[in-house]
Amino acid sequence: MLRFLVRRAAGYGVLATVATALGYVLASLTLHPAARYAGRTPPVPPSVVHAELAALGVDPGVPVPARLWHWLTELVTHGSLGLSVRGVPVTAEIAARAGTSLRLLLLGSLLGALLGVAVGTWGASRQYRWPDRVTTVGSFVLLATPPFVLAVVLMTLAVRLDSAAGRTLVPFTGEYTPGLAGGWPAQLGDRAAHLLLPTLCLALGTAATWSRYQRAAMLDVLAADHVRTARSMGHTRRSALWRHGVRVALIPMSTFFAYSFGLILTGAAITELAFSWHGMGEYLVRSVVDDDVNAAAGTVLFTAVLVLLAGVLADVLHAALDPRVRT
């Protein structure tokens, strides 16, 4: 079991390396760092441009494989992801932003998954009756609503709430209120309040997807023979469902978690941008706008690592839920 996980993680590592390399190549091909210097007044002499780009390791004169090799060796030997076009080490920038992104990601996906599983189970247990209908329609509407629209809806509601209350109950711009007076409890409360809407935004979208899959998995299980066995033992319909149904229905969900994680990451990036958070989503978009190859490649690496961690977590969850894969 443990050996399996280690092997699996190693396999993931290889995938991540290749994927990151591909990401670097893609960034090198699509981004044009030299364009930053074009059209400046006074014009930047080509020699200066060349020197600056060479210092960053993104000189278009050097073939991409050579640049990739340089980038990878720097990464392995010094743990360095290079400098961004603004001269800041990419690792430092990622370190500063990672917490912001992870906080949202962790809370949002966890809340969303729990909500989705609960709603999906509830809907399946009342198939074709009103709870099922309402949750189905709700999830379809949420699935059709991109996070940035949902964010505006939530913000509008918050503004209404605030104006009704006469004061700011739900602050939603940025991660905290700049220059807030008060000790750490006030700071913490302020941060928590700022977390509310973005977390909700990400969680609702995630929950909509999850509830559909959980509903389907649950319906499969409801028809399963072993749930009938549980009822023949003396479980009521409801207790057979919760004691014997949900656990089995969660098994395919662990695999689904691995696949849906990319979607969650995307949703999180958009949510960050919608709420003006300085997270990794913003960093990625800014790196593309800035034609910043190193920053873009660093973001891709960070993301790949997250996806891999999610994959390992999904494997562990799968093994924890299903004894059949443990032996």
Please tell me whether residue 145 binds other proteins under the rule CB under 8 A.
yes
How many beta carbons lie within 10 A of that of residue 51, not counting itself? Answer: 11
Give the separation between CA 255 and CA 326, rounded to whole angstroms: 15
Residue whose CB is less far from other proteins, 139 or 199: 139
Closest contact distance (angstroms) between CB of 49 and other proteins is 20
Give the separation between CA 20 and CA 83, rounded to whole angstroms: 17
Amino acid at 305: V
Residue 58 tokens read as: 């993104």
Please tell me whether residue 235 binds other proteins under the rule CB under 8 A.
yes
Cis peptide before 42 (omega within 30 of 0): yes
Single residue of 94, 197, 253, 304 touching other proteins by CB under 8 A? 304
Residue whose CB is less far from other proteins, 97 or 244: 244
Residue whose CB is less far from other proteins, 1 or 55: 1
Single residue of 42, 87, 179, 234 touching other proteins by CB under 8 A? 234
Residue 271 tokens read as: 């949510």
Residue whose CB is less far from other proteins, 113 or 302: 302
Please tell me whether residue 206 binds other proteins under the rule CB under 8 A.
no
Contact 281, 101 (CB under 8 A): yes
Residue whose CB is less far from other proteins, 132 or 175: 132
Single residue of 269, 271, 279, 294 touching other proteins by CB under 8 A? 269
Residue whose CB is less far from other proteins, 148 or 187: 148
Q: Write the CA distances from 219 to 50, 80, 124, 130, 260, integer angstroms.
A: 62, 50, 6, 16, 20
Interface with other proteins: number of residues (CB under 8 A): 79
Candidates 81-89, 106-114, 183-191, 280-288; binding stretch for other proteins (CB under 8 A) = 280-288
Per-residue binder mask for other proteins (CB under 8 A), 3-42, x = binder: xx--x----x--xx-xx--xx--xx--xx-----------
Site residues for other proteins, 68-127, by CB under 8 A, read: 127
Candidates 44-52, 110-118, 196-204, 255-263; binding stretch for other proteins (CB under 8 A) = 255-263
Contact 176, 191 (CB under 8 A): yes
Per-residue binder mask for other proteins (CB under 8 A), 146-165, x = binder: xxxx--x---x--x------
